[in-house]
Structure 1
């Protein structure tokens, strides 16, 4: 448990570097209005697909360090017992690189994401009434997607990818899918 606490604290410490930054403002060349405050931006998003279809909450925070990259973390909570989705809780730190970015505001368009995943869940395939069927495992993976940001900072993001678990538990799946349709706000 100490290792998990250390990893979570380490990942959240990255956001402390953004405090007190007094950078330049992004200016829309067409309207000459300031957009989004300093050049370092933050985004908060929620997965609308998982929420509406399965009642699963996945929220994501992304810190945009420059026009071509960003990093963040996603948290998934599955409060209900269902046969559709095996994870009960997951923490997914990620790093994104944006390509074909000819926009004024940057950090939108096509992206490639590398991520790691720390997840807790249940395995119903090997269920035995006398044994515990819960697992904890870590994973590494890649995904690809596209992000649209309008002039008011609202976000639509679609991505898909997958990865492979590292095999810390016999009950965890060998591979998994990561993706969704996220909506959110840049500020």
Structure 2
């Protein structure tokens, strides 16, 4: 019986030592990240992001979208501000595959139906502000020097102007995607 106890304790010690080698690798950098969406720059808009790593498997952040070139960017988005929370499934510190939950305060230029007394329809541009909740997926890679590359995409739903029939071609669905480049410090 004593042999079984000794063998069990040795097996437990070997498994425990192996588990220590499989832990998440932590880098020597800080918990802050600044990123910029590289694809949106090509289309005339600016989307910076700030992210704070809470633990080795979760982070919070915020991104803001601002178009600066209306000729290249043909969407009618005025701006959005999107806070998010991420859960990571990788072996590195706050990196690898992740799931994201986000909120989005957005403003979109929409055409408003105007009915004249003769029964004709005209349109007038109007800014519509709404709030959406959504989810996304992505992947993040961090080099040993602190350089960050990230690919993500998500979809959400606006809540406040979804049943309004006075707007022409208004969609309650919002999306976000990015090829972000940045630095962890």
| Match of residue 69 from structure 1 | 58
SS of corresponding position for 2:91: coil
Instruction: Give the structure 1 partner of residue 138 of structure 2.
Output: 145
Alpha-carbon spacing, 1:126–1:155, altered in 2? closer, same or farther (3 Å):
farther
Q: Give TM-score scaled by structure 2 length.
A: 0.72
Q: Deviations over 1:106-163 (max 9, x none)?
A: 1000000000000112025869876442110000100000000000110100011111
> Contact conserved, 1:79 with 1:88, CA < 8 A, in 2?
no
Given candidates 107, 116, 128, the residue that maps to 1:120 is 107
Rate the CA distance shift 1:123–1:114 in 2: closer, same or farther, 3 A.
Answer: same
Structure 2: 5+ residue runs without aligned partners?
A: 1-24, 115-120
Report if the CA contact (8 A) 1:141-1:161 is conserved.
yes
Partner of residue 3, structure 2: none
CA contact (8 A) 1:138 1:168 kept: no
Q: Distance in 2 between matches of 1:134 and 1:149?
A: 39
Largest Rg, 1 or 2? 2
Deviations 1:34-83 (A, max 9, x none): 7214xxx000000001111x111001000001100000100110133356
| Residue from 25, 33, 40 that aligns with 1:50 | 40
Q: Which residue of 2 aligns with 1:93?
A: 83
- Structure 1 CA distance for aligned equivalents of residues 144 and 54 of structure 2: 19
Q: Is the 8 A contact 2:59 2:86 kept in 1?
A: yes
Question: How many positions carry a matched residue from both structures?
Answer: 149
* Structure 1 counterpart of 2:158: 165
CA distance in 1, matches of 2:145, 2:94: 15
- Is the partner of 1:63 in helix, strand or coil? strand
SS of aligned partner of 1:151: coil
